[in-house]
A and B are shown apart, each in its own frame.
Chain A
Amino acid sequence: GCGGSDKKDEKAAGSDKKVVLKLSHVFSPDEQLYKSMELVAERIKKKTNGRVEIQCFGQNQLACYKDGLEQVANGANFISVEDPSYLGDYVPDFKPLVGPMLYQSYDEYEKMIETPLVKDMEKKAEEKGIKVLALDYIFGFRNVMTNKVITKPEDMKGLKLRTPGSKLFIDTINAMGATATSLPFSETLSGVSQGVVDGLEGSEFTNIGTKCYEHVKNVATTKHFLGTCGVYISTKVFNSLSPEDQKIVAEEFAYGGKEMTKISTESYNKVYKELESKGVKFNDVNHAAFEKATEPVFKQMEEKEGATPGIYEKLKAELAKIRAAK
């Protein structure tokens, strides 16, 4: 990445030069994240009297995933909205932060990202040119959907599960005991209905959207991943805003994240009831057993993917504190 760390660029301060920022994500207009981003952009424009205009581009019209963050890290007038694991290319510790089987509730994650441990990671990202504006545009947990009732890793033996084609997902599902089969998202339903796979992993929103519930009737609430997006802007670009505008931008993106998490919770409850009415059964799992099974995924991150040795233990220690404080 490129530097531009603490350059306090006060040039723009006080001037009412208009800044146009392009915000890019992969979601479509009927999804909550799209709506949330439009809302935040509107609020920022109003509060800065039009000094900061954020143009939102959904559905990968500009650059997404690694490409979006690369734009940010290279100092483009660009805001990238992606899963925090993509920050792992710049600060590897972000991978374990959203690693498997860590969180049991949205609240635990919200508290985790306020800890000094994560704030320190954000600072490192800032030094690499990426200012983190939010990490908690949460849309839900990912669970395992099959016809077999799954409560422990042994139950997953021999099951083929559809995953996205990313290393983290493949490693995690394999570590949980199943065999990961990466299919394109568009092939999910046909894969499930024709038995190419025995089930899939994903959120209940995916389940209802793809109609996979017609073929797989059990959801094991493994909560193996928390689906969430962060918002990232170039440090250089952010610092070029006036302190007043910086504050507005940061506050509004934080506000949008909290709002979205609230909305996601509500719509999740609706989807949950709808799935139950379609005959889908939900069951709890032995979380501790799956936690143990997926430990090697974190070990791999520490040993091979540049994450700080011991970061997993630190994250767990923070989690223990959060849980104790309840």
Chain B
Amino acid sequence: MRRDSSFLCISITIKNGGKILGKNLSFVLNNLEDLVAAFFISITTILVVINIVLRYVFNSGLVWSEEVATGCFVWSVFIGAVAVFKHRGHVGVDIIVKRMPQGMQKAIGLITDVILVALNGYMSYLSIIYISKSYTKMTPVLGISSVYISSSVLIAFVLMTMYSIKFVWQDVTGSGKEEK
């Protein structure tokens, strides 16, 4: 089992993460996906809270809030998935592979990474086709093009394709080994 990937990935939740938020450019670049996902999940949270307050205090609600909240959630999930992918954090089982001889392990690692390139690439290709056929589809409440939501999936798979190509490159050149 990849160890940092306890199922919910809630890393050790003792106060070890309280590093001061570095506001420089390299922080932003290194954490771009995380920042985007954090932005969207914040919008989702705020919208749901606002709607509860409106309902109880002002006896009304925003009709579009659910649609926007879930739309932002989709963005957060898929961009967040890229962030997890980048750190190889998605749950998988490598205990069998680990029992194999070193050479075999390397070979399987390369093969699985190539499969990931193919899979993510194919998913990116399919999502382009899907979006080109479905962008006229309107959302039920706001009546805006569904592309505002579906493009998150395209962007996520394109980014994951790029990262998986990087993984293959690392496998071949033997660089970046310790990126657990």
Write the residues of chain A forming the contact surface with B, with a CB cutoff of 8 angstroms: 1-2, 66, 70, 74, 89, 160, 165-167, 170, 179-182, 196, 304-305
Alpha-carbon gap, A62 to B71, bound state (A): 22
Alpha-carbon gap, A36 to B61, bound state (A): 38
Is A74 a contact partner of B141 (Cβ separation < 8 A)? no
> Which residues of A have CB within 8 Å of B137?
66, 70, 89
Q: Give B60-77 as 1s and 0s: 1 = Cβ < 8 Å from A's Cβ atoms.
A: 110100110000000000
Does B136 sit at the interface, judged by CB under 8 A? yes
- Shortest CB-to-CB span from A211 to chain B, Å, is 23
- Shortest CB-to-CB span from A225 to chain B, Å, is 16
B143 contacts which of A70, A167, A180 (Cβ < 8 Å)? A167
**22 sample A-B contacts, Cβ–Cβ < 8 Å, listed by A number:** A66-B137, A66-B140, A70-B134, A74-B133, A89-B138, A160-B59, A165-B63, A165-B66, A165-B67, A165-B140, A165-B141, A166-B140, A167-B140, A167-B141, A167-B143, A179-B60, A180-B63, A181-B61, A182-B61, A182-B66, A304-B143, A305-B143
Alpha-carbon gap, A2 to B134, bound state (A): 10
Interface residues of B in 100-140 (CB under 8 A from A): 133-134, 136-138, 140
Chain B residue at smallest Cβ distance from A179: B60
Does B55 sit at the interface, judged by CB under 8 A? yes
- Shortest CB-to-CB span from B45 to chain A, Å, is 19
- Shortest CB-to-CB span from A162 to chain B, Å, is 12
Q: Would you call the interface of chain A mostly helix, strand, loop, or mixed?
A: mixed
- Shortest CB-to-CB span from B86 to chain A, Å, is 31
Alpha-carbon gap, A276 to B156, bound state (A): 56
Question: With A170-B63, A181-B61 given, can you name 11 additional A-B contacts, CB distance below 8 Å?
Answer: A1-B133, A66-B140, A70-B137, A89-B136, A160-B59, A165-B66, A165-B141, A166-B141, A170-B141, A179-B60, A182-B66
> Which residues of A have CB within 8 Å of B141?
165-167, 170
> Which residues of B have CB within 8 Å of A74?
133
A to B contact number (C-beta, < 8 Å)? 33
> Which residues of B have CB within 8 Å of A179?
60
- Shortest CB-to-CB span from B74 to chain A, Å, is 15
Given A70-B134, A74-B133, A167-B141, check contact A196 B55 (CB 8 Å): yes
- Shortest CB-to-CB span from B20 to chain A, Å, is 42
Chain A residue at smallest Cβ distance from B59: A160
- Shortest CB-to-CB span from A152 to chain B, Å, is 24
Alpha-carbon gap, A5 to B63, bound state (A): 38
> Which residues of B have CB within 8 Å of A180?
63
10 shortest A-B CB distances, which residue pairs?
A166-B140, A167-B141, A170-B63, A89-B137, A167-B143, A182-B63, A167-B140, A66-B137, A165-B66, A165-B141
Alpha-carbon gap, A66 to B133, bound state (A): 13
Chain B residue at smallest Cβ distance from A195: B59
> Which residues of B have CB within 8 Å of A170?
63, 141
- Shortest CB-to-CB span from A29 to chain B, Å, is 27
Chain A residue at smallest Cβ distance from B66: A165
Alpha-carbon gap, A1 to B135, bound state (A): 10
Alpha-carbon gap, A117 to B61, bound state (A): 39
- Shortest CB-to-CB span from B48 to chain A, Å, is 13
- Shortest CB-to-CB span from B175 to chain A, Å, is 43
Is B133 a contact partner of A2 (Cβ separation < 8 A)? yes
> Which residues of B have CB within 8 Å of A70?
134, 137
> Which residues of A have CB within 8 Å of B55?
196
- Shortest CB-to-CB span from A95 to chain B, Å, is 11
Alpha-carbon gap, A57 to B73, bound state (A): 29
> Which residues of B have CB within 8 Å of A166?
140-141
Counting chain B CB atoms within 10 Å of each CB, the highest count among A66, A74, A89, A167 belongs to A167
- Shortest CB-to-CB span from B34 to chain A, Å, is 31
Chain A residue at smallest Cβ distance from B56: A196
Chain B residue at smallest Cβ distance from A2: B133
Alpha-carbon gap, A181 to B63, bound state (A): 8
Chain A residue at smallest Cβ distance from B55: A196
> Which residues of B have CB within 8 Å of A167?
140-141, 143
- Shortest CB-to-CB span from B77 to chain A, Å, is 18
Alpha-carbon gap, A245 to B141, bound state (A): 39
- Shortest CB-to-CB span from A72 to chain B, Å, is 13
Alpha-carbon gap, A277 to B126, bound state (A): 57
> Which residues of A have CB within 8 Å of B61?
181-182
Chain A residue at smallest Cβ distance from B67: A165
Alpha-carbon gap, A202 to B59, bound state (A): 22
